[in-house]
Amino acid sequence: MKYVNEEKINNLLADTVRLDPEGLDSILAKAKSLQRLTLKESAGLLSVTDSEGVQKILSAASFVKDAIYGRRVVLFAPLYISNLCSNRCLYCAFKADNTSLKRRALTIPEVEAEVRWLLGRGHKRILMVCGESAPESKFGIRYYQDAIQAIYASRVGMHKIKRVNVNCAPLSIAEFKQLKSSGIGTYQIFQETYHDKTYRLMHPWGPKSDPDNRITAPDRAFAAGIDDIGIGALFGLYDWRFEVLGLLSHVEHMENEFKVGPHTISVPRIEPAEGSPLSLHPPYQVSDDDFKKLVAVLRLSVPYTGIILSTRESASLRDELVSLGVSQISAESNTSPGGYSVVDTKQAGGQFSLGDHRSLDEIVGTLIEHDYMPSFCAACYRLERTGEAFMDLAKPGTIKGKCSMNALITLQEYLDDFASAKVKTAGYKMINRYFKQLNQEEQERLKFFFKHVAQGVRDEYV
């Protein structure tokens, strides 16, 4: 598999020399200075198993997350527009040979209905997720463009979607240029597993059976001018330690070739999926404790990159992982095309089982309770703070001030328009508390935006 030196990774993992306390402290000090770690340093952190050492890693990850992003946590919702698929991935409900799944590709009016439902709940950011249909089908790039246009055009009162990120199959450079012209934010694609033999075993048939075509998709997206790329692995297919170093090898390639690392890294674990016996018993089950550690090691290894956590995980674990490096979470998710707005016997099947069934309002309330600022911001995308421009702000941690300011503005909008009485009360107290921590110039600037929000103005940002 391109960009992944399996022998090097295996040698790093097989190294019997474990970090002594001084070695661990040295690596953590480097990470806390917001420098990206080498593969060897990351492998060193993965080798730590004693409880005291692991706790140091978790604490350092929390420090780095706050240093880069502050207390803000970005919220979004996935919007599945199709579960039609030409692949036979062994772990996925959407696989082509799963005859028990109800199939559906949303019409454009149905896409608009889904978006209106999400807007009515308070969502402002969408991850559009697409099945991988046959190349000759009508559900390709033109369909994606029409759906994106419909998402951006949808309105509920004064509310609209600010940012559409896209998770779809690998495209050609020409198709990626079409996708970029639609005004997307981040292009997201997961390699699933960076272990070549496992990849070929898990993807026996269909376009996705070629691991190199998939791992080079971000290269083609960069070549097409898309400079915010999200990558990820599906943990549970192979040794999670190998997958972490595989992900970091991919990061190294991106930085060396394009001088821009991934905008986000996603960390899904395999969950039960209809029609997939393998999903019920993952080959390499990842425990909760190991999952916390891998999230922390990723945060320390690539401090500037957003880490995304889906509603696959339980509510309690998601709440805990926010403090260990996660900076973006989905909320009130549905993985069925039409699952938000359509409730009938014709609803299509979902991709996997969910673990967190809380409403957006409940998740916002829990974040506030734990002193995290829920954010619906998309300012960086609108102000061209993407690619290298974003990295120039994120790597030294200077993006935090803008993130915190925009989080407070978008939280004020959410509280005024959507929140329950309990969440309103707690949220206004949080805003007041953080407002008092700002200097006079920042306070005056925030007063200006809050005045506009009170007057009914929406979607302002710094």
DSSP 151-191: HHH--BTTB---EEEEE-----HHHHHHHHHTT-S-EE---
Does 258 lie in the same domain as 109?
A: yes
Point out the domain boundary residue: 394, 421, 438.
Answer: 394
Q: What is the pLDDT of residue 345?
A: 45
Q: What is the pLDDT of residue 30?
A: 98
Give me the residue label for tokens 């991850």: 127
230's enclosing H/E stretch is strand 229-232
The DSSP code sequence of 385-448 is: --HHHHHHHHTTTTHHHHHHHHHHHHHHHHHHHT--HHHHHHHHHHHHHHHHTS-HHHHHHHHH
Residue 82: strand pairing partners: 105
Point out the domain boundary residue: 394, 422, 446.
Answer: 394
d(CA 289, CA 364): 25
Tell me how many domains the chain contains. Answer: 2
Is residue 400 pLDDT above 70, yes or no? no
Query: Phi-psi region for residue 387, left (φ > 0), alpha (ψ -120 to 50) or beta?
Result: left
Q: Domain span at residue 413? A: 400-454
Percent of the chain past pLDDT 70, that is, above it, reads 93
d(CA 154, CA 161): 8
- Quick one: which of 237, 227, 235, 231 has its CA closest to 214? 231
Q: What is the pLDDT of residue 457?
A: 87
Is residue 346 pLDDT above 60, yes or no? no
Q: How confident is the model at residue 139 (pLDDT cuts 50, 70, 90)?
A: confident
Does 221 lie in the same domain as 168?
A: yes
Give me the residue label for tokens 């409900």: 93
d(CA 214, CA 2): 10
Query: Phi-psi region for residue 279, left (φ > 0), alpha (ψ -120 to 50) or beta?
Result: alpha
Calculate Rg over the CA atoms of the chain: 21
Does 404 lie in the same domain as 390?
A: no
Averaged over 81-105, what is the pLDDT?
A: 94
Query: Measured at the alpha carbon of residue 75, what is the angle toward residues 188 and 130, in degrees to the nearest 5?
Result: 35
Is residue 165 pLDDT above 50, yes or no? yes
Does 315 lie in the same domain as 217?
A: yes
Point out the domain boundary residue: 394, 411, 444.
Answer: 394
Query: Measured at the alpha carbon of residue 8, what is the angle toward residues 5 and 13, in degrees to the nearest 5?
Result: 125
